[in-house]
């Protein structure tokens, strides 16, 4: 699969903010957000969404606990398919570089009902991700202070403080958030690089004992019975980490040359996550000294690294990973707030007049506050990490399945507007992405039909009720605000 990045003089001139704002007006909106993000900041947004080192510190057992070392291969295989989805979403966001990401795409290509539902599911995925990150960070941070066992409400309390911190930071200037995001990416790369280089050097040059290569092709005794379902369920690790493909797209109205830089940087970030993530898992699997000890550890990655690199170095890596995951929560929360703001601007959400308000620094304040509140509700609903991870993955996969399904029709009809990023063989890859996303939804709901299935159903029902409540009002709808895009040859 290859992508063809093309420049169109009419739509994506090499100029700066004026060209971006002209394109925004062509799509039916006046510039309201502050364009403060460059290409690297766009890359950092998407890479922070994956946040592999932070995610693997809290979610290592999501894969390893199912199939042992085989989770390396399920992660790599599932992530390749996730990258296919990323390519498709990147093209759609290139066509519509607007706040709201795929909400805007689906609304304009398939009508406001489906578009609204996709936007709602994306928001829920963002908010569940914030709650999930907070729940994952809580035991690690508490462990630093000697607290090893937490009750449900203690977990909720500490997680709420983490969510409060990300909320307060998101209310500040966009440039400050972008700066913290860039620092988070550096922390992420340092942590991942230290694991790969440190373990590799210890194995190759310092005689540190490690597992043989054959160990990677076994379940290490983790699986009891058939391996088929555990293999499928272990794909949750990839679905949890490599997702949120339009997070940088939701910041399209704040990014310079968004039609080009957003998709290119988004795809680059996801491919880098595939490479770095596979390498990190590879050396971690080789470094496992005790399978039972790893399975029973409150911090399995630190448990693996401490005998290899020393406890102080392993702790330093964990601190970097925790910081990068904290930044991830901040980034994802603001992305969800941007979708809420976009729906408020379109008069497509209850309380639209409040949601579309911006602070003096052009931050969607109401969206940030609402996102923090909903993230807190998620951790009250379930402070169990695996349940939140599954709800997160299902809502993201379901929204992207709808988006790529719409993309199939749009590519076949040639109804997407001119764009700077075009996916060769587009319809085929959109079909692959749609099938994979739907399979992922089915797998994850089957794993826990009560908590995950009922939780997802509840999200859908609430979304339908909110939609008809919002549109019962005589407010400006997205379709009335949209200047019909110019179709181009597919």
Q: Which of 308, 244, 246 has the alpha carbon at shortest distance from 51?
A: 244
In our burial notation (b when 16+ CB lie closer than 10 A, e otherwise), range 462-475 reads ebeebbeebbeeee
Q: How many CB atoms are located within 10 Å of the residue 250 CB? A: 30
Grouping H, G, I as helix, E, B as strand and the rest as coil, residue 169 is helix
Structure letter (DSSP) for residue 490: -
Q: What does the pLDDT profile of the chain (490 residues) look like in tens digits?
A: 444 333 333 343 444 556 777 878 888 888 877 777 777 878 887 887 788 888 888 889 889 999 999 999 999 999 999 999 999 999 999 999 888 889 899 999 999 899 989 989 988 888 888 888 898 889 888 888 888 788 888 888 999 999 999 999 988 877 777 788 888 888 989 999 999 999 999 999 998 999 999 999 999 999 988 888 898 888 888 887 888 787 777 778 878 888 888 889 889 989 999 999 999 999 999 999 999 999 998 889 999 999 999 999 999 999 998 898 898 888 889 888 888 888 888 887 777 788 888 888 788 888 899 999 989 988 887 666 777 777 888 888 999 999 999 999 999 999 988 888 888 887 999 999 999 999 999 988 888 888 888 888 888 999 898 888 876 654 444 444 444 444 444 4
Helix (H) or strand (E) holding 423: strand 421-423
For the segment 305-335, what is each residue's pLDDT rounded down to a tens digit?
A: 999 999 999 999 999 988 988 988 888 898 8
The answer to whether 320 and 341 have CB atoms below 8 angstroms apart is no
In this structure, what token pair is assigned to residue 364? 């969607």
Predicted pLDDT of residue 45: 79
Q: Is the dihedral of CA 398, 399, 403, 406 positive or negative?
A: positive
Query: What pTM, to 2 d.p., does this model score?
Result: 0.85
Domains of the chain: 35-481 (1.20.1740.10)
For the segment 357-389, what is each residue's pLDDT rounded down to a tens digit?
A: 888 878 888 889 999 998 998 888 766 677 777
Angle at 480 between CA 474 and CA 484, to 5 degrees: 170
């Amino acid at each position: 699969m290859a992508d063809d990045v093309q420049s169109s003089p009419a739509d994506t001139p090499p100029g700066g903010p004026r060209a971006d704002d002209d394109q925004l007006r062509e799509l039916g909106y006046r510039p309201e957000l502050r364009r403060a993000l460059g290409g690297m900041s766009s890359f950092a947004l998407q890479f922070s969404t994956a946040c592999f080192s932070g995610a693997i510190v809290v979610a290592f057992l999501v894969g390893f606990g199912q199939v042992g070392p085989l989770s390396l291969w399920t992660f790599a295989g599932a992530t390749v398919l996730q990258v296919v989805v990323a390519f498709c979403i990147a093209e759609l966001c290139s066509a519509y570089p607007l706040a709201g990401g795929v909400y805007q795409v689906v609304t304009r290509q398939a009508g406001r009902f489906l578009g609204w539902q996709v936007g709602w599911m994306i928001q829920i995925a963002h908010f569940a991700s914030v709650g999930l990150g907070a729940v994952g960070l809580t035991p690690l941070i508490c462990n630093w202070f000697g607290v090893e066992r937490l009750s449900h409400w203690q977990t909720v309390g500490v997680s709420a403080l983490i969510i409060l911190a990300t909320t307060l930071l998101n209310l500040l200037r966009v440039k400050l958030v972008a700066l913290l995001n860039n620092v988070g990416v550096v922390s992420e790369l340092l942590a991942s690089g230290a694991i790969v280089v440190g373990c590799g050097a210890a194995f190759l040059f310092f005689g540190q004992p490690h597992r043989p290569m054959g160990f990677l092709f076994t379940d290490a005794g983790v699986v009891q019975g058939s391996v088929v379902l555990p293999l499928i369920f272990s794909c949750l690790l990839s679905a949890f980490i490599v997702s949120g493909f339009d997070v940088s797209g939701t910041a399209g109205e704040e990014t310079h040359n968004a039609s080009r830089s957003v998709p290119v940087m988004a795809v680059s970030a996801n491919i880098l996550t595939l490479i770095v993530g596979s390498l990190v898992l590879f050396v971690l699997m080789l470094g496992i000294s005790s399978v039972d000890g790893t399975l029973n550890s409150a911090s399995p990655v630190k448990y693996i690294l401490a005998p290899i690199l020393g406890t102080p170095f392993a702790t330093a890596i964990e601190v970097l990973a925790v910081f990068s995951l904290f930044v991830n929560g901040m980034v994802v929360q603001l992305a969800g707030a941007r979708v809420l703001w976009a729906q408020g601007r379109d008069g497509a959400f209850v309380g639209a007049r409040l949601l579309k308000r911006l602070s003096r620094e052009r931050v969607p304040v109401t969206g940030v506050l609402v996102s923090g509140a909903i993230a807190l509700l998620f951790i009250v609903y379930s402070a169990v990490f695996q349940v939140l991870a599954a709800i997160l993955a299902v809502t993201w996969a379901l929204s992207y399945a709808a988006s790529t399904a719409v993309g199939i029709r749009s590519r076949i009809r040639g109804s997407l507007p001119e764009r700077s990023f075009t996916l060769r063989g587009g319809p085929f890859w959109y079909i692959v992405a749609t099938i994979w996303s739907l399979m992922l939804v089915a797998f994850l709901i089957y794993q826990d039909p009560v908590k995950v299935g009922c939780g997802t159903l509840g999200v859908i029902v609430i979304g339908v009720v909110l939609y008809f409540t919002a549109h019962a009002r005589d407010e400006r709808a997205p379709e009335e605000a949209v200047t019909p895009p110019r179709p181009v040859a597919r």
